[in-house]
A = this chain, B = another copy of it.
Amino acid sequence: MSENGSQPARTPDKQNPARSLDAHVDRYAQRTAGMTASEIRALFAVASRPEVVSLAGGMPNLAALPLDSLAAEVSHLVAQDGQVALQYGSAHGVPQLREQICEIMALEGISAHPDDVMVTVGSQMALDMVTRIFCDPGDVVLAEGPSYVGALGSFAAYQADVVHVAMDDDGLQPEALRQAIAEVTARGGRIKFLYTIPNFHNPGGVTLAVQRRAEVLEICAQHGILVLEDNPYGLLGFDGQTYPALRSTDPDNVVYLGSFSKTFASGLRVGWVLAPHAVREKLVLAAESATLCPPTLNQMIVSRYLSTHDWKGQIKVFREQYRERRDAMLGALEQHMPEGCSWTCPDGGFYVWLTAPEGVDTKAMLPRAVTQRVAYASGTGFYRDQLGSRQMRLSYCYPTPERIREGVRRLANTLTEEMELVRTFGTTGRRSVPGPQAPSPDTA
């Protein structure tokens, strides 16, 4: 079949028959129906080409890490304590690290006992374990709209239904929370917990106002709803500010998730969960069946890093880098974005949430943006319903300020062309539902 005799003939089905036919299709569990490749992941291959400015990913910038001194510490660890570091540990986690984690959490007002901390393989595993012990199929999880795509993935894996709660520039709206609870309760739904990222929201870029925190906790306590507080960015406030953790106010009704992925090194996969004692016991049992134990070496690396390095100084360096990048992005957005666009102004964390003018479908536009050598995460991936089609998440964590400015310039061009198409032909995509639950515009 090939014109060129030197190449073997290939037809699509012969090339990879497994892709077109899955012999196991009738065997999968029902939960696999909810497992779909996230739009962001699907985009990784193309967006990671060097000519494309990726504003899509959430990779922390590790360039500032002191690799040489880290290498020396890790080497010492393996040579001196290798018999322990390379051996199985407990599912609960290394005791010394759990003590240090308590010291870190104290920075946000949390008073906790190391026994109530469990170390996990990134806070993603903590999310998965919490969902595992609480959610039966059909149970409801409340979550901000938009919400963290990895959390939505865990909830889907346990067949929990997600009901989104609207945010504004001050984060989760208490009134919207009350409404959501009333609606779910009225239709007989069983709410298991409120999943919330109070600080420097992913992807919203907003922070739950301090004066709202007590109210949110009170609403949940009133209705017997557990709060799952996810706080990977809490120490990355650009002015060095921290906010009181929800857990600090209501220890009995909040399960708290933390991570070293954004303040130290994501590739070590070390996160944690702090939970009321009885819940923590259940979590350890669940974790044993999931991974037996988190990697011992990685826990000891983090523990040693915390003991031997100026980790607070390192976080300050990260903060300053991210602030510079945030400034680069906001400046470029102001300069280049066409009229009708709006976006959030984060004072910490990694993300800006942008809303395009009506008629623009950011998912449909994405291939055109990539053609113009810029990538972003389209908004629909951050909802379990069809919302977010006018929105996109822009990350400033990884590219340099110069690349961020160039990326925003390209994105502005793409959007301008898209809006011309919209004016000429109407909507450009099939799914143009606007995103009323998205944070309100902030064009200040």
Using a CB–CB distance below 8 Å, which chain A residues touch chain B?
Answer: 16, 18-19, 21-25, 27-32, 35-38, 41, 44, 59-60, 62-63, 65, 67-68, 70-72, 74-79, 82-90, 121-122, 124-125, 128, 132-136, 139, 150, 153-154, 156-158, 192, 226, 252-253, 261, 265-269, 276-279, 282, 285-286, 288-298
Chain B residues near A19 (CB-CB < 8 A):
277-278
From B83, B89, B150, B295, A288 is in contact (CB under 8 Å) with B150
Q: Do most interface residues of chain A lie in helix, strand or loop, or is the interface mixed? A: helix
Q: Which residue of B lies closest to A121 (CB)?
A: B291
State the Cβ distance, A412 to closest chain B Cβ, in Å: 28
Instruction: Tell me whether A133 and B29 are in contact in the complex, defined as CB-CB below 8 angstroms, given that A19-B278, A75-B74 are known contacts.
Output: yes
Q: Which residue of B lies closest to A298 (CB)?
A: B295
- Contact of B79 with A278 in the complex, beta carbons under 8 Å: no
User: Lowest 3 CB-CB distances: which A-B pairs, in order?
Assistant: A18-B277, A75-B75, A22-B278
- Contact of A266 with B74 in the complex, beta carbons under 8 Å: no
Chain B residues near A60 (CB-CB < 8 A):
87
- Contact of B38 with A288 in the complex, beta carbons under 8 Å: yes
From B28, B75, B294, A71 is in contact (CB under 8 Å) with B75
- Contact of B276 with A86 in the complex, beta carbons under 8 Å: no
State the Cβ distance, A298 to closest chain B Cβ, in Å: 6
- Contact of A122 with B292 in the complex, beta carbons under 8 Å: yes
State the Cβ distance, A187 to closest chain B Cβ, in Å: 19
Chain B residues near A156 (CB-CB < 8 A):
289
Number of copies of this protein chain within its complex: 2
Chain B residues near A295 (CB-CB < 8 A):
121, 267-269, 295, 298
- Contact of B266 with A122 in the complex, beta carbons under 8 Å: no
Instruction: Tell me whether A41 and B86 are in contact in the complex, defined as CB-CB below 8 angstroms, given that A27-B192, A277-B19, A298-B298 are known contacts.
Output: no
Instruction: Tell me whether A82 and B67 are in contact in the complex, defined as CB-CB below 8 angstroms, given that A75-B72, A282-B28, A297-B298 are known contacts.
Output: yes
Q: Provide a sorted-by-A list of 29 A–B residue pairs whose CB atoms are within 8 angstroms.
A: A19-B278, A22-B278, A24-B278, A25-B278, A28-B134, A29-B135, A31-B136, A32-B133, A32-B282, A35-B282, A37-B285, A63-B83, A67-B78, A70-B79, A71-B74, A71-B76, A71-B78, A71-B82, A74-B78, A85-B267, A86-B265, A86-B267, A88-B266, A124-B289, A156-B289, A157-B286, A157-B289, A268-B297, A269-B295
From B67, B125, B134, A290 is in contact (CB under 8 Å) with B125
Most buried by B among A83, A86, A154, A282: A86
- Contact of B23 with A154 in the complex, beta carbons under 8 Å: no
Question: How many angstroms from the CA of A158 to the CA of B29 in the assembled complex?
Answer: 10
- Contact of B78 with A125 in the complex, beta carbons under 8 Å: no
Instruction: Tell me whether A23 and B276 are in contact in the complex, defined as CB-CB below 8 angstroms, given that A288-B38, A290-B128 are known contacts.
Output: yes
Question: How many angstroms from the CA of A276 to the CA of B60 in the assembled complex?
Answer: 34
- Contact of A289 with B153 in the complex, beta carbons under 8 Å: yes
- Contact of A83 with B62 in the complex, beta carbons under 8 Å: yes
From B31, B62, B82, A82 is in contact (CB under 8 Å) with B62
From B23, B28, B135, B139, A133 is in contact (CB under 8 Å) with B28
Q: Which residue of B lies closest to A279 (CB)?
A: B24
State the Cβ distance, A376 to closest chain B Cβ, in Å: 18
Chain B residues near A86 (CB-CB < 8 A):
62, 65, 265-268
Question: How many angstroms from the CA of A82 to the CA of B65 in the assembled complex?
Answer: 9
- Contact of B136 with A30 in the complex, beta carbons under 8 Å: yes
Question: How many angstroms from the CA of A256 to the CA of B86 in the assembled complex?
Answer: 24
- Contact of A87 with B286 in the complex, beta carbons under 8 Å: no
- Contact of B71 with A252 in the complex, beta carbons under 8 Å: no
Question: How many angstroms from the CA of A27 to the CA of B276 in the assembled complex?
Answer: 13
- Contact of B267 with A87 in the complex, beta carbons under 8 Å: yes
From B24, B150, B285, A289 is in contact (CB under 8 Å) with B150
Q: Which residue of B lies closest to A191 (CB)?
A: B27
- Contact of A23 with B286 in the complex, beta carbons under 8 Å: no
- Contact of A59 with B88 in the complex, beta carbons under 8 Å: yes
- Contact of A128 with B277 in the complex, beta carbons under 8 Å: no
Chain B residues near A28 (CB-CB < 8 A):
133-134, 282
Question: How many angstroms from the CA of A417 to the CA of B103 in the assembled complex?
Answer: 51
Chain B residues near A135 (CB-CB < 8 A):
29
